[in-house]
């Protein structure tokens, strides 16, 4: 119904509600979304760049951390594991978080303000750790006997054996970056740096603001009619624009995703 609603006219949706097939076929919602195509493409590029960079960096960071915590010969692993888990129970609060990012780290209006907050997740760390612990210790010992150091053992022996976990955690990280708009709202002021989610969020807010101005007779109705701003159909179109790439990418990692979740649940 989301797809059919995005291709329906606003008047038909308001009158008849949603249906499985488009009512009074219209592209007005998509015309509104892509009214400034270069701005939309820039937001897409920002989001794709952040998603790729954040997913790659997050996978490397969490895999290396999970490998250390999964090593039975690391005597402090239980203490560090508790330290990571403890961070899920308590939060420093929004105000200290904002002061840290804006004043201490000076990341206001920076891409790093969008990259760093989502770089590490304890939940993803536990999945990765559980999967690494399922690898027989004899394989790691054999690699060391052959002269491999810790780094080489990780990248040559461990990582090839945890592809399902990498796909699972990678998908979680990618979705977190792809769906993030909150950090952009807090820290990004330059329009050219907006990620897709926040750009579309602003579009919806602007249109709803225009609708309220019409209701209050603060804006001439002829101006709004010329702009032809939909509301319900626009939300459907935005959903398609945002989720389309994820829907296309999911089948590529579905097999590994399901397997990784199953292993993580059993071992965790």
Question: What is the predicted pLDDT for the residue at 113?
Answer: 94
Q: Which residues of 66-98 are buried (b: 16+ CB within 10 A; e: fewer)?
A: bbbbbeeeeeeeeeebeebeeeeeeeeeeeeee
Residue with the larger pLDDT of the pair 62 and 206: 62
Could you give the CA distance from residue 158 to residue 153 in angstroms, rounded to a whole number? 6
> In this predicted model, what pLDDT tens digit does every residue of 134-188 receive, in sequence order?
888 888 888 888 888 888 888 888 998 888 889 889 989 999 999 999 999 999 9
Residue with the larger pLDDT of the pair 184 and 37: 184
Q: Which residues of 159-191 are buried (b: 16+ CB within 10 A; e: fewer)?
A: beebebbbbbbbbbbbebbbbbbebbebbbeee
CA nearest neighbour of 184 among 166, 207, 171, 201: 201
User: The CATH number of the domain where 147 resides is what?
Assistant: 1.10.3720.10
Number of domains the chain is built from: 1
Residue 13 has pLDDT above 60, yes or no: yes
Question: What is the predicted pLDDT for the residue at 9?
Answer: 77
Q: Using 50, 70 and 90 to split pLDDT, how confident is the model at 226? A: very low
Highest mean pLDDT among 24-28, 164-168, 247-251, 253-257 belongs to 164-168
Residue 222 has pLDDT above 70, yes or no: no
Could you give the CA distance from residue 222 to residue 183 in angstroms, rounded to a whole number? 37
- Beta-carbon contacts of 101 under 8 Å, excluding residues fewer than 6 positions away, are 107, 108, 113, 116, 117, 186, 187
**Domain encompassing residue 168:** 2-267
Question: What is the predicted pLDDT for the residue at 229?
Answer: 61
Sign of the C-alpha dihedral, residues 177, 183, 185, 191? negative
Question: What is the predicted pLDDT for the residue at 227?
Answer: 46
Is the pTM here over 0.75, yes or no?
Answer: yes
Tokens representing residue 42 in the block: 């820039």
């Amino acid at each position: 119904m989301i797809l059919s609603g995005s291709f329906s006219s606003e008047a038909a949706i308001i009158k008849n509600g949603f249906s499985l097939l488009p009512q009074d076929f219209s592209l007005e919602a998509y015309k509104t979304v892509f009214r400034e195509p270069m701005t939309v493409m820039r937001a897409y590029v920002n989001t794709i760049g952040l998603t790729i960079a954040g997913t790659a960096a997050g996978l490397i960071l969490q895999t290396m951390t999970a490998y250390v915590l999964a090593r039975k010969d690391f005597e402090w692993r239980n203490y560090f594991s508790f330290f990571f888990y403890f961070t899920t129970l308590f939060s420093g609060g929004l105000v200290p978080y904002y002061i840290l990012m804006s004043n201490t780290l000076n990341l206001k209006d920076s891409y790093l303000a969008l990259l760093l907050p989502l770089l590490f997740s304890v939940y993803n760390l536990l999945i990765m750790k559980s999967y690494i612990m399922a690898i027989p210790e004899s394989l790691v010992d054999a690699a060391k006997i052959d002269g491999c150091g810790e780094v080489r053992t990780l990248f040559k022996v461990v990582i090839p054996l945890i592809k399902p976990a990498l796909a699972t955690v990678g998908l979680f990280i990618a979705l977190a970056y792809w769906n993030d708009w909150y950090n952009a709202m807090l820290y990004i002021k330059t329009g050219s740096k907006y990620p897709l989610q926040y750009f579309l969020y602003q579009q919806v807010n602007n249109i709803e603001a225009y609708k309220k101005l019409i209701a209050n007779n603060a804006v001439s109705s002829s101006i709004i009619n010329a702009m032809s701003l939909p509301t319900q159909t626009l939300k459907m179109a935005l959903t398609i624009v945002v989720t389309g790439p994820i829907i296309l990418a999911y089948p590529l990692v579905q097999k590994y995703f399901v397997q990784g979740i199953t292993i993580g649940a059993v071992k965790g």
